[in-house]
Amino acid sequence: MTSDQFRRIWFRFGELVTEHRDELNRLDAAIGDADHGTNLARGLAKVAADLGADGASTHLAGSCRQVGMALLSTVGGASGALWGSALLRAAGALPEAEACDTATAVAAARQVVDAMQSRGHAELGDKTMIDVWRPAVALLEASVAEGMSGPQAAVAVAERAVTLADATAPLVARRGRASYLGARSAGHVDPGSVSTALFWRAVADTVAHS
């Protein structure tokens, strides 16, 4: 992965979230407070501005840290704390260089999942974005271990992420605001899982077309 690709992933993620903002808000209205799309779009607009600013870092670790700080300080809510903590942690796994090998990029993705779980304490099946993140990163690791190229693996993960997000619908939420609804949270897709699937689509769109 190059630092140019890394930045373009975030520009693309921002486009996708803006495109799906109303849908994400609608999903959130059903089991939360109707602002997931708005908050994430606001944060990603700041990310794009920071990454494109004069004097922005040109190496991977620095760019990743910028993304983490921007998300932490503009998204708000649980999403901001989780995405922000995760990207700050992932920055530690990336080199202060313009490119890294696939194994390093995969290790950074693993740091994202670990940081989200240690900050948010969510487990698989709690109806949170961990339901997409954890199996997605496991698939990424397995695909690369089997010899798939980074771009091929990213496309496979992006496809699986959509299925994983849909699979949150029947679950009863045990974390986050949806958990207050108890059994009434079943029958609705988790909005954080849907935006996570959009992130993986942004990764696939970017690396498969470079």
Among 79, 111, 195, 206, binds other proteins (CB under 8 A): 79
Inter-axis angle of helices 21-31 and 191-208, to 10 degrees? 150
Residue type, 21: R
Question: What's the closest the beta carbon of residue 28 comes to other proteins, in angstroms?
Answer: 9
Q: What is the DSSP string of the chain?
A: -BHHHHHHHHHHHHHHHHHTHHHHHHHHHHHS-S-HHHHHHHHHHHHHHHHHSTT---SHHHHHHHHHHHHHHHT-HHHHHHHHHHHHHHHTTS-SSSB--HHHHHHHHHHHHHHHHHHH---TTSSSTHHHHHHHHHHHHHHHHTT--HHHHHHHHHHHHHHHHHTTTTPPP-SSGGGGGGGGGTTS--HHHHHHHHHHHHHHHHHHT-
**Cβ(57)–Cβ(30) under 8 Å?**
no
Give the span between the Cα atoms of 80 and 89, in whole angstroms: 14
Q: Which stretch binds other proteins (CB under 8 A): 53-61, 68-76, 161-169, 198-206?
A: 68-76
Kindly identify the residues of this chain, within the stretch 149-208, that bind other proteins according to CB under 8 A: 174-177, 179-182, 184
Kindly identify the residues of this chain, within the stretch 132-151, that bind other proteins according to CB under 8 A: none
Kindly identify the residues of this chain, within the stretch 11-50, that bind other proteins according to CB under 8 A: 25, 29, 32-35, 38-39, 42
If the CB atoms of residues 104 and 179 are measured against other proteins, the closer one turns out to be 179
If the CB atoms of residues 29 and 162 are measured against other proteins, the closer one turns out to be 29
Question: What's the closest the beta carbon of residue 22 comes to other proteins, in angstroms?
Answer: 9
| Position 81 contacts other proteins (CB under 8 A) | yes
Question: What's the closest the beta carbon of residue 74 comes to other proteins, in angstroms?
Answer: 7
Contact map string, positions 109 to 128, toward other proteins, x by CB under 8 A: ----------xx--------
Q: Which stretch binds other proteins (CB under 8 A): 69-77, 92-100, 103-111, 199-207?
A: 69-77
Q: Which residues bind other proteins (CB under 8 A)?
A: 25, 29, 32-35, 38-39, 42, 72-82, 84-85, 119-120, 174-177, 179-182, 184
